[in-house]
Amino acid sequence: SAWFKEQGDALPELYRQACRSNPTVERMILGHEDPPESYSTVYAPGSPEEAYALADAILPAWQATPRAMNWLQSISG
């Protein structure tokens, strides 16, 4: 997308910042950890519950975008 091209150089650092905020989200997007079938919708920033809610909301978009998943895998640690 145009936004991706415009922000391209900054994206790895933005990604690292997001992972520091809640590393569980990355593990779920990359398929290293499965979200539970049910979880509390009340959560604190950085908590596993926050990661579950985020993954539930954004995982389908990542999975539907293979190039984005390839990029994410290439920069993940």
Q: Where are the domains of the chain?
A: 2-75
DSSP character at residue 22: -
The token duo for 23 is 């590393």
Dihedral over Cα of 11, 72, 28, 53: its sign: positive
Predicted confidence (pLDDT) per residue in 5-56, tens digit: 676 678 888 888 888 899 898 888 888 988 888 888 899 999 999 999 998 8
Res 2: pLDDT: 66
pTM for this entry: 0.71
DSSP character at residue 43: -
Q: Which ranges in the chain belong to alpha helices (H)?
A: 2-7, 11-21, 23-29, 48-63, 66-75
How far are the Cα atoms of 20, 21, 26 from residue 17, in angstroms, in the given order?
Answer: 5, 6, 12
pLDDT of 50: 92
The pLDDT of residue 71 is 86
